[in-house]
Structure 1
Amino acid sequence: MTLTVSAVLILALTAVTLIRNRAVGLGSALVLFLFGFFTAGTGAYQPIHDLCGNFANALASIR
């Protein structure tokens, strides 16, 4: 749950920054896509959430 909340906050701040700076590209589209799935809780939420969790675990294990 902690990862989900922090991921939503990070993605929300990133999305706001990208929109305010009028940056349009693959990176901004990906951020907004992930932000939508984290907040919407659709059927695709769980696989995307698991992928982000696995990515965070992989980053943590590098150290």
Structure 2
Amino acid sequence: MATSISAVVLLGIVVFVLIQGGFVRLGPALACAAFGSFLASTGAAPVITPAINAINDWISSI
């Protein structure tokens, strides 16, 4: 749970900086957020979650 909250905060900051810097416009950023939200409710979520956890564990071990 703490990992997912940290990831959400980190990715939110990255998206905010990209929007403010003019690299990404608000429309595409919202479309990506909506896509991620819908993707989380599909059958792909059980495959994606362990992959993200494995990457997180790998980064933590460095």
* TM-score of Structure 1 vs Structure 2, range by shorter chain: 0.5 to 0.7
Q: TM-score scaled by structure 1?
A: 0.62
- Pair 1:53–1:12, CA change in 2 (3 A): same
The CA deviation at 1:48 is: 2.4
**Deviation of the 1:45 alpha carbon:** 3.2
Q: Greater relative contact order: 1 or 2 (C-alpha under 8 angstroms, separation 6 or more)?
A: 1
Q: What is the number of equivalent residue pairs in this alignment? A: 54
Aligned-partner residue type, residue 42 of structure 1: S
Larger Rg: 2
Which residue of structure 2 lines up, in the alignment, with residue 5 of structure 1? 5
Work out the percentage of aligned pairs sharing the same amino acid.
22
Quote the RMSD (CA, aligned, Å). 2.7
Structure 1 alignment gaps of length 5 or more: none
Give me the TM-score of the superposition, normalised by structure 2. 0.62
Deviates more, 1:52-61 or 1:2-11: 52-61
